[in-house]
Structure 1
Amino acid sequence: MSEHNQNEVTIIPEYDDNGTVNYHLPNAKTDKNLVAVCPKVADKVIPVIFIPGVMGSNLKDKNGREIWRADFYKGLDMIGWGFKNGKERKELLNHKTTFVDGKGKILYNEQVDSIFPSRKKRGWGTALYLSYGEMLEALQFMLNDQHLLLENLAGTTKHLTSRQQLIGENMGAELGEEPLTDEEVRHSYEFLFPLHVFGYNWLQSNSKSAQKLDEFVSDVLALYCGRLAVEKVILITHSMGGLVARHYSENMAGRNKILGIIHGVMPDLGSPATYRRMKTGERGLFGAIIGSNAEELMPVLAQSPGPLQLLPGKAYGSGWLKIKSDGKIQSKPQEDPYEEIYLNEQDWWRLCEKALLLGDEEKEWGKYIENIKYNVKVFIEELNGKYHPQTWAFYGAGSEHPSEESLTWYERPYKLPLPTYRESAGKKFELTSSASPGDGTVPVKSGRIGWSGLRSLLATNVDHEGAYASNIRKGKETSLTLKFTLRAIVKMVQSVPGTGGN
């Protein structure tokens, strides 16, 4: 036995351009006792599709000129937006004149990997690099690190793979906490997981984006014809991308093409933060880009169905907007947020201010009303309570990421030159947040999905934009959200028959 082991050599397999496994055997004429070990490896594919959140896909105009892209360090290539006024923003960020741009930066795109089509062909260039560039690379590595298994087998390394490191780990999920077993991890290595990105026009209605997703899923499945382990894909979503995925799955009969869905920081019931953006602009870096006050941002959002579909629906409940004045408190909505707040044309605290829409006020107001009635309300209410039966989700629940579970207009004795202030009938008001636990955008009330059919639900301490942030390149431990995502995928594929390769 010892002599046999000394003459044993492990042949590391290689994949050709068609994904076929090949073994290059040595010339054994000089040693008749040489034993070549050819480990069987995965050759069947289960595609994984990542769906970004609002503002997370690159956009261009009809001439191919980039409109929304952040390829440079800290998004420096978007600095020009800081010099644009409301009219320019409204013209450029129009869902009718913008299209998905697939020419964005891709991390390590120059790497040749014959197992799958190039990262560009898999849509990585459609994702906003500032938000997802490093995360996509980390996730793809975690999903396809079978080379470490082979190197361990050959004796050149002794490193546990990302999945092996999760065996037995308790992540503290409040629902469906099931640590991985060795057998489950072994079974997951029966498959290859190419990571695709579905970039979409986040300005348009999410129902239209869901139609595009239907086409994208069909194209991805066709791409791996003859190599599929199952005629289904796995969806991973961020924020508003979860609404796109759910609409496709539950309202467009896409469920049968989906093995499972992982939602990250999805605003399940909507978020009052959307109201705050309309009335006061966005905060931080993206505020400087897309609009830091109502004059800059309201004209854009009022014409954009997608972002408005993040508003709280009826299921969010009543009283999330309060107006305190003269010792009295008004709580809105009492029953219907659409009639009481979004379609309200009279009260100063209404969602949309006609005078800020730019252009023909009456015409623009008419478009806005139509948008709310036939795009926003219909989409939100038809989606409420609907989920794919194989759904995993995580949400932000940290107090250090204060979120708008509710908003209050407080009467003040003064008015500061800040976008959070308004004046009406000689009275001054400031819009303030409840600063409730959440991810900085979605409060726990909306992020914590209440559906009893969830496979697993995890509370995390993440901020909204960086929910899937990777710490691997910084020399730190893998983020909890990526671990949860990886574990969910391993759990999903247990229902798919393997090939006996591992």
Structure 2
Amino acid sequence: MDDNKNQSWHRPIWDDNGQFYYELISQPKENNHLAICLVPPEKVIPVIFIPGVMGSNLKNQQSEVWQFSASSLKKWTLASPDKRKFLLDPKTTTVDDRGAILNDSVDGKKFPSRRDRGWGSAFYKSYGEALDRLQYLLNDDEILMDNYFREAQLQTARQRFTGVRIGDEPAEQVLTEVETAHSHRFLYPLHFFGYNWLQSNADSAMLLGAYISKVLGDYHGRLAVNKVILITHSMGGLVARHYSENMNGQENILGMVHGVMPDLGSPAAYRRMKTGERGVTGMIIGDSAEKLMPVLAQSSGPLQLLPGSAYGPGWLKIEGNGPRQSLPVDDPYEEIYLNKTAWWRLCEQDLLLGNTNSEWEAFVYRIKKPVKEFIEKLDGKYHPQTWLFYGASADNKSDAFLTWKEKIPLRVKEAQRVWKDAGKHLELSPLRTHELISAGTPGDGTVPVSAIRTSSPRIHGVLATNVDHEGAYAVAPVDRSRSVYSDLSDALVFTVRSVVKIVQQVPAP
């Protein structure tokens, strides 16, 4: 920094229209004063985050339905199956954008407020801190400006990532200084697309198209390119891909970064229907088939996470007294999802509540039309600029396949023997004598490695890392000793780097 007293350095000040100006104090001409105005990046490339299932706040006409708040979540632990089905109805719920936001005003007037950018519709427990950190990492150019006013020069996050290799990834995924410098010529306002995850992902994709148009309109005159970058989590990746590849949305998207996307579907979706969800999430959303099946059976979005034909055969195994079965042999829809008689079928008609005949008919239609058509039509389709990371740790035991294993208590077996000696037969329900066992294969705890397709000419970068499914975008690394940075997860670093790589398509302003 020059100590010349005839010089003054001035930061830009942003007005309500996203334009910048300077506040200068007039000096006498004879002073020969030089005012140096620092010019910030001003061209915008919007980034939109698309969450996964359960990642958007929901409400109905009465009140909150799904939001990370004491009043919202407290109602679920003791809610009856009927109440769950009533509240989590895709026909009566809408997105709720009134949720908590971390550091709402920190971006100043450079962009619309974080609430105006949709952050209030994010399920705070899953995304609150992650969105805040992502926005900072994508707009760390303030550090470059601050360097003019201090002796010690600091690096931006993107400069820290330059030349750094994560694990044994290919050299072409590593950032170069030229790529980093180019990325600093743009601004990246982070938006959040909240959607009703109970409805069909095809419907959400249509709404995503409208949202992208709105975002691009918000930055009219400021855009570096008339396109957005999408960052997705889990099911959000399916929504984004459907819009891009099946709804002619590709021309509006510069590139996509997917995190833990269940590309081929996951057997975990079957497990949820049959046994409920596990852990703390299960205590809220439903930890048994009686609680969760009525909700999922009426909701196309979660059903579209089931393994499609591309997942392959044999992911559901049945072991007992008879011959061992591996299903599906060919068609998961007919053999498992629409099966009405086998005890291991996906849906129990008796648990659907209400008029079970009409509910079953609605379920059958849902599987045949929105579910099957969505899954099969999306198979193998990606945006030309696709980057993705996924969980590949043996510590996060996942369901590459599931096994119904016969487990009959000794006292029941003894009763069977007594009845048999008496010439009688003791009939047992297979659902009461079989336990659904997870394979315990590597993954993220929900999506197994076998559900990830990493080979395609359109996939430019891939990272296999240690993340759990819900916390895929967590700020801190799972294992600090194995991460590139002790303060940032490898997944977050990969995401920001991927955005930088995608931006190389845009000419410098």
Identify whether the pair has TM-score above 0.5, normalized to the shorter chain.
yes
Q: Distance in 2 between matches of 1:211 and 1:368?
A: 23
Distance 1:110 1:316, change over 3 A: same
Q: Distance in 1 between matches of 2:21 and 2:456?
A: 47
The equivalent residue for 2:43 is 44
- Pairing 1:134-173 to 2, within 5 Å after superposition: 134-155=129-150, 158-172=153-167
1:496 aligns with 2:481: no
CA contact (8 A) 2:343 2:431 kept: no
Q: Post-superposition shift, 1:360?
A: 1.1
Q: Post-superposition shift, 1:41?
A: 1.5
Q: Percent identity?
A: 55
CA contact (8 A) 1:282 1:290 kept: yes
Q: Distance in 2 between matches of 1:44 and 1:81?
A: 45
The equivalent residue for 1:311 is 306
Greater shift, 26-35 or 486-495, is seen at 26-35
The equivalent residue for 2:381 is 386
Distance 1:483 1:3, change over 3 A: closer
The equivalent residue for 1:363 is 358
Q: Post-superposition shift, 1:27?
A: 3.7
Q: Post-superposition shift, 1:111?
A: 3.9
Amino acid in the other structure paired with 2:365: E
Amino acid in the other structure paired with 2:328: P
Q: Distance in 2 between matches of 1:493 and 1:253?
A: 21
Q: Post-superposition shift, 1:405?
A: 0.2
- Deviation per CA, 1:54-110: give whole Å up to 9, x if none: 0000000034x11000046xxx85122001011110000000000000101111124
Aligned residue among 349, 353, 371 for 1:354: 349
Q: Distance in 2 between matches of 1:4 and 1:286?
A: 59
Q: Distance in 2 between matches of 1:367 and 1:495?
A: 46
SS in 2 for 1:409: strand
CA contact (8 A) 2:65 2:72 kept: no
Q: Post-superposition shift, 1:186?
A: 1.3
SS in 1 for 2:90: coil
SS in 1 for 2:459: coil
Q: Post-superposition shift, 1:182?
A: 1.6
1:409 aligns with 2:407: no
Q: Distance in 1 between matches of 2:170 and 2:262?
A: 18
CA contact (8 A) 1:265 1:464 kept: yes
Q: Distance in 1 between matches of 2:168 and 2:374?
A: 30
Amino acid in the other structure paired with 1:371: R
TM-score with structure 2 setting the length: 0.92
Aligned residues: 488
In angstroms, what is the RMSD of aligned CA positions?
Answer: 2.2
- Deviation per CA, 1:122-179: give whole Å up to 9, x if none: 0000110010000000001111121111010222652211111011111236457422
The equivalent residue for 2:7 is 8
Q: Post-superposition shift, 1:404?
A: 0.2
Distance 1:173 1:4, change over 3 A: same
CA contact (8 A) 2:389 2:491 kept: yes
The equivalent residue for 2:424 is none
Q: Distance in 2 between matches of 1:226 and 1:272?
A: 47
SS in 2 for 1:186: helix
Greater shift, 240-249 or 29-38, is seen at 29-38
CA contact (8 A) 2:343 2:430 kept: no
Distance 1:153 1:409, change over 3 A: same
CA contact (8 A) 1:175 1:458 kept: no
Larger radius of gyration: 2
The equivalent residue for 1:482 is 492
Q: Post-superposition shift, 1:17?
A: 1.2
The equivalent residue for 2:64 is 66
The equivalent residue for 2:422 is none
1:20 aligns with 2:30: no
SS in 2 for 1:386: coil
Q: Distance in 2 between matches of 1:425 and 1:131?
A: 37
Q: Distance in 1 between matches of 2:369 and 2:283?
A: 31
Distance 1:426 1:117, change over 3 A: closer
Amino acid in the other structure paired with 2:312: G
CA contact (8 A) 1:4 1:33 kept: no
Greater shift, 285-294 or 15-24, is seen at 15-24
TM-score with structure 1 setting the length: 0.93
SS in 1 for 2:433: strand
